[in-house]
Copies of this chain bind each other. A is one copy, B any other.
Amino acid sequence: MAPTSETLTAERILAATEEVLRRHGPAKATVVDVARALGVSHGSVYRHFRTKAALREAVTQHWLDRTSEALAGIVAEDRDPALRLRDWFTGLFAAKREKAGDDPQLFATYQVLIGENSAVVERHIADLTGQLTEIVRDGVARGVFDAADPAVSARAAFDATGRFHDPCYAREWEQPGIEADFEAVVVLVLRGLRA
């Protein structure tokens, strides 16, 4: 059965857009290309995403959100905040590394989209530092961390670990010694936060 516009959700359009990006790179992720891949009229895609820019922004956001959603569980856990902070950074590094390593071409494609959508990246960083802030705040409440302003300390911890999640370091993520470097930075950050 051919897909009808009834079944055409934003989610399905974004999945198809990612498939188009995977096959053809960043240039081809237009509404017309995605409609063709779905076998629907481009009018029905436009009903969900009014411009090519909106579609490209949404697919980028969707890609970044998968990382923050995967980490949200650690924030919600009722465990030692220092251990949660460590697990959160380990999870972030693993998620970014997996994205870069599993499909380097798609990763490069998303770097192009990210370059076009600085507002999406800012939201992503705000999501991630928001999660970190919750862990830091919980640590302060439990007397484990000392942070006059948990949001400031969370942003500092995020910046301090940039080598292990910022895409500009992606080519270093498979180098020997990177795990030891990661461990040393996490230890420094945790020591810097402790009460």
Contact B168 A189 (CB under 8 A): no
Copies in the complex: 2
Contacting A188 at CB < 8 Å: which of B166, B184, B193? Answer: B193
Residue A162, interface by CB 8 Å = yes
Residue A11, interface by CB 8 Å = no
Contacting A163 at CB < 8 Å: which of B159, B181, B189? Answer: B159
Given contacts A168-B168, A191-B192, contact A184 B163 (CB under 8 A): no
Residue A54, interface by CB 8 Å = no
29 contacts between A and B (CB under 8 A): A152-B180, A152-B184, A155-B181, A155-B184, A156-B184, A156-B187, A156-B188, A157-B188, A159-B163, A159-B181, A159-B184, A159-B185, A160-B160, A160-B185, A160-B188, A160-B189, A162-B162, A166-B168, A168-B168, A168-B169, A187-B192, A188-B189, A188-B192, A189-B192, A190-B192, A191-B191, A191-B192, A191-B193, A192-B192
